[in-house]
Amino acid sequence: MIECVNVCGLEDMKSSGRFFTWSNKQEGAKRVLTKIDRALCNGGWCNMVPTAETLFLPENDFDHTPMVIRSFPPQPGRKPFRFFNYWCTNQNFLDIVMQVWGKQVHGYFMFQVMQKLKWLKVELKQMYSQDVIANYQEAKTTLEETQSLMHQYPQDPNLATMEKQATETFRGATKSYNSWLKQKAKIH
């Protein structure tokens, strides 16, 4: 393998993120962390794409760390408003709609309706961000922090227990988050 890499003139790409790329997910002394995943490139490609780098993401529920090759910064853009069925299941949904619809707006009838819809859009987005996104981000952050500690202290049995709990919480939050993503992508 090393001979093939040398003959092809390949080298490790610049990388950031996790150092270890695989874990056997065992506890205590049985825990194994190693770097087995790499992104390789040759000199010509590195010259053509000088900003390219490999980002090794937290492993979360996987045994391997996902890797992303980036070559340019993402371009910001406006996203269209979408109504999510999930919002109707929120216990505060009707109260928010009634509160926004009860506000006074002066002007033509159609202007009043459009203004109230704009206000409702803001409220619904806030309601959503306070639920599924917050739960997912919190669970993900907790799991990543626990796994970072596991990388520093792989033999600590308390961290292994904390990682198991954080993984279960993350799985539940991911299930809700994926449900939202499916609707966003219009996959049923």
pLDDT of amino acid 73: 60
- Indicate the pairing of strand 33-34 with strand 22-23: antiparallel
pTM tops 0.85, yes or no: no
Task: Going from the first residue of the chain to its last (188 residues), give the mean pLDDT of each consecutive group of 10, the final group possibly shorter.
Answer: 82 87 87 89 83 87 89 67 70 89 92 92 75 85 91 85 91 80 66
Helix (H) or strand (E) holding 5: helix 2-7
pLDDT of amino acid 89: 64
- Characterize 136-150 residue by residue with b for buried, 16 or more Cβ atoms within 10 angstroms of its Cβ, and e for exposed: beebbebbbebbeeb
120 φ/ψ angles, rounded to the nearest 5 degrees: -65, -40
CA distance 39 to 17: 13
pLDDT of amino acid 74: 54
CA distance 47 to 64: 29
pLDDT of amino acid 139: 93
Q: Which residues pair with 40 in a beta bridge?
A: 12
Question: Which of 62, 46, 70, 26 has the alpha carbon at shortest distance from 143?
Answer: 62
Residue with tokens 């219009």: 186
Question: Which of 149, 146, 131 has the alpha carbon at shortest distance from 92?
Answer: 131
pLDDT of amino acid 110: 92
53 φ/ψ angles, rounded to the nearest 5 degrees: -150, 155
pLDDT of amino acid 180: 72
- Is 10 in contact with 21 (CB distance < 8 Å)? no
